[in-house]
Amino acid sequence: MADEIKVGLLLPYSGVYAALGGEIEAGFNLGLATFGAQTDDTFVVVTEDTEVKPPVGLAKAKKLALQDKADVIVGVVSSGVLGALRDFVDGAGVPLIVANAGNDAATGEDCSPFITRFSFSNSQVNRPMGQYLVDQGITKVFTMAPDYAAGHQQIGAFKAAFEAAGGEVVGQEFTPFQKTQDFGPYLANAKSSDAQAVYVFYAGGEAISYVKQYDSFGLKENLPLFGSGFLTSSLYVNAEGPAAEGVIASSYYVPTIDNPENAAFVEAYKAANNRLPSEFAVAGYDAAHALVLASANGASDRASLAKALSTSSFDGPRGATSIDPATNNIVQPIYVYETVSAADGSGMTQKVLASLAPEQDPVNGCTLAN
Ligand code: BEZ
């Protein structure tokens, strides 16, 4: 039997991203069960709640590493929490598998041999949408996002690519994170602008409120809604309902991707959880896959795990998935999808409009390759 590996699952189980945390954990557990058949007793899991608060996330990471003696930490949903943990995990030499938070700096100027990301970077998901919108004849856009690191980075990457392709951002709003309940005043500003479309990043509970209010404000018809795929995630698109119909977004995963690994994943996830998986579930699942592979190759202590994780490569539900050793960020295809009503009346589903080539971030100041 392989040496025991203690995993600290560090996720939000409360706050605006609580549902995302539960979903990543469900994906992680399925990944261990699927790939760890030979090593069932190898992984011992301890969970902690970040509450989506950077100081709480840091305190919990310290507890997992110093008190529980975790060999590896998996999780972190918010870019703000990831920013708060970065120096601690780097200094303590504890491998962190990022299973959501897209904070660009963590695999750019603040990269670390101990941080490996199996989810996405904020830039990676949004960059391709700049050219995509211009190709659809849309050259004037109004943007919105929550006012914290992920909101600024996701919109910043879209804006840079959109402007490089000839587009113009004619107005933008950053709404108070975790505090905005009424998007009305911001939507009114979008409506009175000369934009042809709105491009946003919202996730979790904020995404549900935003999509519903956008629809009830009557904007969808004249001002089509685009964004990064978290806006209409399969995790909560049925809570948005028909308000989400017609929204076009980019993501690294939707459950309708057509490949054999995804077919097996969707079936197993449905059987275990009685619902379709989302992009959050796949990040947990792939994190577990990579850990099992690292363990099967003999890694068990912090240093050997960090090294093995940074050379991961496999075909998974999202397609060919690998870690770029120059940044420790994932390289993966990006999908553009439209939310549509399922023909069988089962609710909302995702129609893939484009499968874009694997997206690799520039090194952005990371010196891992030097
Ligand atoms: C982030 O904070 O990086 C993030 C949170 C939820 C969805 C996507 C990104």
Neighbours of 339 (CB within 10 A): 26
| Interatomic CA distance for residues 24 and 75, integer angstroms | 8
Residues 115 and 39 in one domain: yes
Residues with CB under 6 A from ligand 1: 17, 77-79, 100-103, 150, 203, 230
Residues 213 and 289 in one domain: no
Tokens linked to 146: 């929550």
Measured in Å, residue 53 CA sits from the centre of ligand 1 at 13
Indicate whether 347 belongs to any domain: no
Residues 30 and 95 in one domain: yes
Asked if the model's pLDDT at residue 38 lies above 80, the reply is no
pLDDT, the chain, mean: 96
Tokens linked to 314: 């496999």
Chain-centroid distance of CA 116 in Å reads: 14
Residues 99 and 39 in one domain: yes
- Per residue in 39-73, pLDDT tens? 668 899 999 999 999 999 999 999 999 999 999 99
Pick the residue whose CA is nearest to atom 7 on ligand 1: 203
Which atom from ligand 1 is nearest to the alpha carbon of 101?
A: 3
The pLDDT score that the predictor gives to residue 3 is 80
Measured in Å, residue 40 CA sits from the centre of ligand 1 at 31
Total domains in the fold of the chain: 2
Q: Provide the residue range defining the domain that includes 286.
A: 4-120+257-332
Best of 11, 16, 77, 177 for a ligand 1 pocket test (most atoms within 8 Å of beta carbon): 77
Measured in Å, residue 156 CA sits from the centre of ligand 1 at 14
Say which residue the tokens 């080539």 belong to.
357
Asked if the model's pLDDT at residue 277 lies above 90, the reply is yes
The pLDDT score that the predictor gives to residue 127 is 97
Residues 98 and 127 in one domain: no
Best of 24, 121, 122, 202 for a ligand 1 pocket test (most atoms within 8 Å of beta carbon): 122
Residues 245 and 153 in one domain: yes
Asked if the model's pLDDT at residue 37 lies above 70, the reply is no
Angle at 23 between CA 151 and CA 26, to 5 degrees: 150
The pLDDT score that the predictor gives to residue 39 is 61
Measured in Å, residue 311 CA sits from the centre of ligand 1 at 24
Asked if the model's pLDDT at residue 78 lies above 80, the reply is yes
pLDDT bucket at 360, cuts 50 / 70 / 90 = very high
3-state DSSP assignment of residue 173: strand
The pLDDT score that the predictor gives to residue 75 is 97
Nearest by Cα to 30 from 283, 254, 356: 283
From start to end of 95-213, where are the E strands? 96-98, 115-117, 140-146, 168-175, 197-200
Rg, the chain, Cα only: 20
For CA atoms 32, 38, 40, 42, the dihedral sign is: negative
| Interatomic CA distance for residues 243 and 238, integer angstroms | 10
| Longest distance between any two alpha carbons in the chain, whole Å | 65
Say which residue the tokens 């939707």 belong to.
254
| Interatomic CA distance for residues 314 and 161, integer angstroms | 29
| Interatomic CA distance for residues 302 and 210, integer angstroms | 41
- Per residue in 205-215, pLDDT tens? 999 999 999 99
Residues 67 and 100 in one domain: yes
Distance between first and last Cα of the chain = 36
Task: Name the helix (H) or strand (E) containing 356.
Answer: strand 348-359
- Per residue in 103-156, pLDDT tens? 999 999 999 999 999 999 999 999 999 999 999 999 999 999 999 999 999 999
Angle at 124 between CA 52 and CA 232, to 5 degrees: 60
The pLDDT score that the predictor gives to residue 90 is 98
Do the Cβ atoms of 305 and 95 come closer than 8 Å? yes
Residues 224 and 270 in one domain: no
The pLDDT score that the predictor gives to residue 124 is 98
CATH number reported for the structural domain that contains residue 204 in this entry = 3.40.50.2300
Nearest by Cα to 359 from 149, 164, 136, 126: 126
The pLDDT score that the predictor gives to residue 145 is 98
pLDDT bucket at 83, cuts 50 / 70 / 90 = very high
Question: What percent of the chain lies above the pLDDT cut of 90?
Answer: 95
Measured in Å, residue 39 CA sits from the centre of ligand 1 at 31
Measured in Å, residue 38 CA sits from the centre of ligand 1 at 33
Residues 155 and 56 in one domain: no
Indicate whether 212 belongs to any domain: yes
| Interatomic CA distance for residues 120 and 369, integer angstroms | 20
| Interatomic CA distance for residues 128 and 333, integer angstroms | 11
Residues 165 and 128 in one domain: yes
Q: What average pLDDT score do residues 334-363 get?
A: 96
The pLDDT score that the predictor gives to residue 109 is 98
